[in-house]
Amino acid sequence: MAERGWGWARAVRGLLLDVSGVLYDSGADGGVPIAGSAEAVRRIKASGLKLQLCTNETQATREHFVRKLRAMGFDVSVAEVTAPAPAACRLLRERGLRPHLLVHDDLVPEFAEIDKTNPNCVVLGDAAENFTYANLNEAFQLLIGMEKPVLISLGKGRYYKETDGLKLDVGAYMKALEYACDVQAEVVGKPAKRFFESALAELGVPAEQAIMIGDDIVSDVGGAQQCGMRALQVRTGKYRPSDEHHPEVKPDAYVNNLAEAVDIILQQL
């Protein structure tokens, strides 16, 4: 496998890694690392390749997120994480928007410096237990009452994997509000092109010299390829065998896990 069809990997200077489903499986207990993934991150750094985590994680601040990863054995820093909440804050400031937040309680500190009085938009994240009827209805009422409703979503994933099974992601709730309010959400996280471009800028590598490694066929693989990157899908996390027959998105390769991907890539360098 490393000998055939991987010649393009010789030009690689940096890797973008999805986190949940690639580095670890999340769960109520904080989650568990996927076998070999912590060592794979160490090998990437030792090789001289640049590394950036490109995640749609919206259940915690980046600082808390990185503390959790480091406790699992991952050598990563806050500067190596591209996440939707900081990108959303930049967008809110640029456009003078004041959000009503429907997000996870642990993510709220990311918006501490944003004016939230008299909201003129709704920001939606993976709110988990906060996705109650009352909270969704409150967001709906705000949006339906606006002359020009603005819905900003910190991702559009359909589901993700935790240790006890698959869980609905923010995209399902985003679609409900889009349908009810006849509005098109603006997606800040993956697979938005602007989000991947931000990650590449932080990585410091052009698209043609970067590889995205993820478990989501649409958000990770499809989004990265639309930006001119190569993209690999791991058979961990939310991966399902039906992904290999997706009608539109075809990864540049499938790998069983991050460790295998790193083995093959480093063989090409």
Confidence of residue 5 (pLDDT cuts 50, 70, 90): confident
Give mean pLDDT, residues 208-230: 97
Range of lowest pLDDT (22-36, 74-88, 97-111, 207-221): 22-36
Measured at the CA of 61, the angle between CA 113 and CA 23, to 5 degrees, comes to 155
Contact 162, 155 (CB under 8 A): no
Q: What pLDDT sits at residue 3?
A: 38
Burial class (CB in 10 A: 0-12, 13-18, 19+), 81: buried
Within 10 angstroms of residue 196's Cβ, the number of other Cβ atoms is: 26
Share of the chain above pLDDT 70, in %: 99
pLDDT at 1 over 70: no
Within 10 angstroms of residue 41's Cβ, the number of other Cβ atoms is: 25
Give mean pLDDT, residues 227-238: 97
Crossing angle between the packed helical segments 193-203 and 84-95, to the nearest 10 degrees: 110
Contact 209, 12 (CB under 8 A): yes
Pair of tokens at residue 100 = 């009503």
Give helix then strand counts, H and E, for the chain: 8, 14
Q: Tens digit of pLDDT for each residue in 89-117?
A: 999 999 999 999 999 999 999 999 999 99
**pTM of the predicted structure, to 2 decimals:** 0.87
Pair of tokens at residue 215 = 């478990």
Within 10 angstroms of residue 67's Cβ, the number of other Cβ atoms is: 12
Confidence of residue 269 (pLDDT cuts 50, 70, 90): confident
Ranked by mean pLDDT, the top range of 16-30, 127-141, 152-166 is: 127-141
Q: Which residue has the tokens 């076998």?
A: 35
Closest CA to 175 of 153, 149, 196, 193: 153
Q: Which residue has the tokens 């990311």?
A: 110
Instruction: Please name each of the domains of the chain with its CATH number.
Output: 12-56+199-267 (3.40.50.1000), 95-187 (3.40.50.1000)
- CA-based max dimension of the chain: 59
| Whole-angstrom distance, CA of residue 148 vs CA of residue 209 | 40
Q: What pLDDT sits at residue 7?
A: 87
Q: Considering the chain, what is the average pLDDT of its residues?
A: 94
Q: What pLDDT sits at residue 101?
A: 98
pLDDT at 147 over 60: yes
Q: What pLDDT sits at residue 2?
A: 39
